[in-house]
């Protein structure tokens, strides 16, 4: 019994140390089944396999460069250039894999201003009626008639996390960011799936507004 307790303590300390070194925050244990992780989601895009082949050549598949916190998700080596209104561009837009069944680009409010068009806040996958753009890759161009969004803040969690917090899939929570420039986000959409790890995604504007860093205390509130 003692040995088992000591092992669990060691595992918790190692988990916290790893998360901090990765730039994530792991709160003190409070009975929660999993540590809370809040990550900054920089601008990126998700593409269908046929779109990857248009941009990079027939038969081309995404090459994992860095594995992300969610199981099976990765930042690819492949990047594209986004061409917006009046030929304003964002270069080196990272593709995240694996491929999906829709083409979607996620940028911040600041990015949208720089590109010169209005981009709505949407949940991932909800792209109907959103602006489009042109993507340029080494093998060709891809015209998107829709799919550019500002991703709504959201939290991924497993069923045990949802039970602990008393929430359901597609419900909303609040995220309290503490610290000198702390603030509270009132609409954090909940996504529940057995494969998910407990992780909140904020974009770069949102993270900068509250001074989010590796040591910043954060709290999810129903």
Q: What is the pLDDT of residues 97-106, one digit of tens each?
A: 999 999 999 9
Q: Which of 19, 41, 38, 42 is nearest to 199 (CA)?
A: 38
pTM of the model: 0.86
Containing H/E element for 40?
strand 37-41
Which residue did the predictor score with more confidence, 80 or 5?
80
Integer Cα distance of 131 and 135 in angstroms: 13
pLDDT tens digits, 46-69: 999 999 999 999 999 999 999 999
Are 12 and 174 within 8 A, CB to CB? no
Q: Is 218 exposed, middle or buried (0-12, 13-18, 19+ CB in 10 A)?
A: buried
Overall size of the chain counted in residues: 222
Question: Mean pLDDT across the stretch 22-33?
Answer: 59
Buried b (16+ CB within 10 A) or exposed e, 77-111: ebbbbbbbeeeeebeebbbbbebbeebbbbbbeeb
Q: Which of 118, 121, 111 is nearest to 88 (CA)?
A: 111
Q: Quick check: 43 pLDDT over 50?
A: yes
- Can you read off the two tokens belonging to residue 55? 């941009």
Q: Quick check: 17 pLDDT over 60?
A: no
- Per residue, the 3-state secondary structure of 92-132, as one string, reads EEEEEECCCCCCEEECCHHHHHHHCCCCCEECCCCCCCCCC
Integer Cα distance of 132 and 147 in angstroms: 6
Q: Where are the domains of the chain?
A: 42-150
Count of Cβ atoms closer than 10 Å to residue 199 Cβ: 22
Count of Cβ atoms closer than 10 Å to residue 152 Cβ: 18
Q: Quick check: 34 pLDDT over 60?
A: yes
Q: Quick check: 10 pLDDT over 80?
A: no
**Residue whose token pair is 């201003």:** 113
Integer Cα distance of 19 and 156 in angstroms: 16
pLDDT tens digits, 147-203: 999 999 999 999 999 999 999 999 999 999 999 999 999 999 999 999 999 999 999
Across 7-11, 32-36, 46-50, 114-118, least confident range: 7-11
């Amino acid at each position: 019994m003692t040995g088992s307790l000591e092992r669990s303590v060691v595992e918790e300390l190692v988990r916290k140390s790893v998360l901090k070194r990765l730039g994530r925050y792991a709160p003190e244990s409070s009975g929660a089944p999993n540590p809370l992780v809040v990550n900054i989601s920089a601008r990126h895009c998700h593409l269908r396999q046929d779109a990857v082949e248009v941009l990079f050549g027939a038969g081309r598949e995404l090459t994992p460069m860095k594995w992300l916190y969610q199981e099976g998700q990765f930042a690819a080596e492949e990047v594209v250039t986004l061409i917006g209104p009046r030929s304003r561009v964002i270069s080196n837009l990272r593709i995240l894999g694996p491929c999906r069944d829709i083409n979607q680009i996620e940028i911040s409010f600041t990015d949208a201003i720089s590109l010169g068009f209005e981009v709505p806040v949407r949940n991932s996958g909800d792209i109907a009626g959103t602006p489009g753009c042109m993507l340029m890759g080494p093998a060709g161009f891809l015209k998107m008639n829709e799919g550019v969004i500002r991703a709504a803040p959201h939290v991924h969690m497993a069923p045990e996390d949802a039970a602990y917090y008393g929430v359901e899939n597609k419900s909303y929570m609040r995220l309290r960011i503490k610290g000198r420039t702390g603030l509270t986000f009132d609409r954090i959409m909940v996504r529940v799936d057995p494969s998910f790890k407990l992780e909140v995604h904020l974009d770069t504007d949102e993270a900068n507004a509250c001074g989010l860093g590796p040591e910043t205390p954060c709290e999810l509130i129903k």
